[in-house]
Amino acid sequence: MTASTGDLSSIATAFPDLTAEERQLLISIRRRKAELMAEINQLKEEITEVSAEIDAMGTEAGTKEKNLAMGKKKFNMEPKKGIKFLIEHNLIQETAEDIAHFLYKGEGLNKTAIGDYLGEKIDLHEAVLKAFVELHDFTDLILVQALRQFLWSFRLPGEAQKIDRMMESFAQRYCQLNPDIFTNSDTCYVLSFAIIMLNTSLHNPSVKDKPTTETFINMNRGINDGENLPKELLLSLYDSIKTEPFKIPEDDGNDLMHTFFNPDREGWLWKQGGRYKSWKRRWFILNDNCLYYFEFTTDKEPRGIIPLENIKIREVADRNKPHCFELFSGGNEVIKACKTDSEGKVVEGKHTVYRMSAATEEEKEEWIKCIQQSISHNPFYDMLAVRKKKVQTTRP
């Protein structure tokens, strides 16, 4: 490149001792230096832009991770709101398949909350239940093995109608993958419940009279379209349950539940304290003729246990809380309950009444209904009797 007259003139003035060639070389060096500096500055600008993009990506990834954790927490507290939050933040798609896969993967999710979501009688939830069950592969598994796998992925809710839908979906899936075992899915449904009930009877300490193999065989007579199931099959199912009971998933939040024959009801209620009459939100579980309450759904031990023996229930009005009901004993006696104190020690309760408040009038009525049923009889036996009658019809 030839230097301009102005460049040569300024160089000649500044460096009079240089030859013409040296002056030309100096000008070339200066120009190359200027070009390199321009390139360096351009690279600096590009690096700055890229760094900003990386930081933004890091922030976005961090935000996504935080939103996912927040969504899981929301799901564990209120499943429908948690799923809505995750969809709104583009963490899962609003399809039955994507929601089902999220629940099936289950990382950081409470098993009770999963069961609560799957059991809802809403079109989307029912589609999610179907997709969720289809993620399980029961091919060539005996029925007990399939039940162990299925019941480990969530926890059955307490409401009979929800259990009915979920166990029916299980039975249909099992029969679809193992078509040569039962004549219809109703037979599989009834036998599945019989296995769950057997598990309860054999391994629940409160059950004194343990069923024998003959008892188990007799209770399942005629459930295969009026015919009996093979004795060998029933004996193998009995031995499997007797040897290894069903277990509760560790994060279920309630180690006292020894079986999958699940509670009559569970959910949040406000409970009135004793001495100071303050209201505290507690997670209640109704099971085995007892009412357990926890501070959080993930707690491993309950804060208190209220046996329902000789207990009555009534609706009450309270000026501070709506939708209230009370547990009370006859004759104004102290209810035989227990709780843990501030130091974690178990102490006897001193309540003559336990007052609770539900979120809605409908929930209050459901709690009263379920507690009354728990005191008198178990509603699941009624539900099972209807299904059993259906499959015991004699074939023409």
The residues annotated with a catalytic role in the active site are: 159
Give 124's contacts (C-beta < 8 A, 6+ positions apart). 96, 99
For residue 340, how far is the Cα from the chain centroid? Answer: 26
What is the DSSP secondary structure assignment for residue 146, as one 8-state letter?
H
Q: Is residue 151 within 8 Å of residue 245, measured between CB atoms?
A: no
Residue 373, Cβ density class (10 Å: 0-12 exposed, 13-18 middle, ≥19 buried): middle
> What is the DSSP track for 271-331?
EE-SSS--EEEEEEEEETTEEEEESSTT-SS-SEEEE-TTEEEEEE--SS-SSEEEEEEGG
Measured at the CA of 270, the angle between CA 267 and CA 276, to 5 degrees, comes to 150
Closest to 157 (Cα-Cα) out of 81, 260, 55, 238: 260
Give 287's contacts (C-beta < 8 A, 6+ positions apart). 158, 257, 262, 263, 264
Terminal Cα distance for the chain, rounded: 107
CA–CA gap between residue 42 and residue 36 (Å, rounded): 10
Cα pseudo-dihedral 350, 372, 289, 282, rounded to 10: -60
Helix (H, G, I), strand (E, B) or coil at 252: helix
CA–CA gap between residue 239 and residue 222 (Å, rounded): 21
